[in-house]
Amino acid sequence: MSTSKRSKPNFYLSIFSMRCPRCRKGKMFKDSNAYRKVSLKHIFDMYDNCPLCNQKYDMEPGFWYGTGYVSYALAVAISTSTFVAWWVLVGISTQDNRIFYWLGFNAVALIVLQPWMMRLSRVIYMRFFVSYDEHYEEHTPKEFE
């Protein structure tokens, strides 16, 4: 075992940069830009295992179905924050159509952010099952099958 103390990668930075939950360094997606190609296959183009720690990403058949719940929670959080921002900056009134303008703005924002939210939901969902391992070189990766 090495006695040198290495710095622990930041939890939130590793989530938003879409890194492996086990080592927090390896990339989860082959292309870091979800908007480069307009195809659903490209959005989910992931490595089978982490390039650094060999953590398997697709833990079992149907593993990623649970990301729908995480994606829903992200959509609710984004909608709530845009509603509060709209209320503070523009205002909400029953006398005019400002609420409908917010609904249109929110719908466009959710559609534009959807590829990023789909990837982020996979990263967050994976963290429910795989925790950070500071000594990932010495331990075997977690598997379910």
Mark 45-65 as b/e (b = at least 16 C-beta within 10 Å).
Answer: ebbeebebbbbbbebeeebbe
Asked whether residue 1 is domain-assigned, the answer is no
Q: What are the pLDDT digits (tens) for 116-129?
A: 999 999 999 999 99
Contacts of 5 (CB under 8 A, 6+ apart): none
Give the bridge partners for 27, in sequence order. 19
Asked whether residue 143 is domain-assigned, the answer is no
Contacts of 110 (CB under 8 A, 6+ apart): 75, 78, 79, 117
Q: What are the pLDDT digits (tens) for 58-108?
A: 888 888 899 999 999 999 999 999 999 999 999 888 788 888 999 999 999
Calpha distance 76→117 (Å, rounded): 11
Asked whether residue 59 is domain-assigned, the answer is yes
Calpha distance 22→56 (Å, rounded): 10
Domain of 55, in residue numbers = 11-129
Asked whether residue 6 is domain-assigned, the answer is no
| Number of domains the chain contains | 1
| Spatial CA neighbour of 125 closest among 133, 117, 114 | 117
Asked whether residue 142 is domain-assigned, the answer is no
Asked whether residue 63 is domain-assigned, the answer is yes
Q: What are the pLDDT digits (tens) for 7-23?
A: 788 899 999 999 999 99
Asked whether residue 121 is domain-assigned, the answer is yes
Calpha distance 126→84 (Å, rounded): 30
| Spatial CA neighbour of 11 closest among 72, 98, 19, 32 | 19
Calpha distance 145→141 (Å, rounded): 12
Residues 43, 32: contact at Cβ < 8 Å? Answer: no
Tracing tokens 């994976």 back to the chain, one arrives at: 126
Asked whether residue 4 is domain-assigned, the answer is no
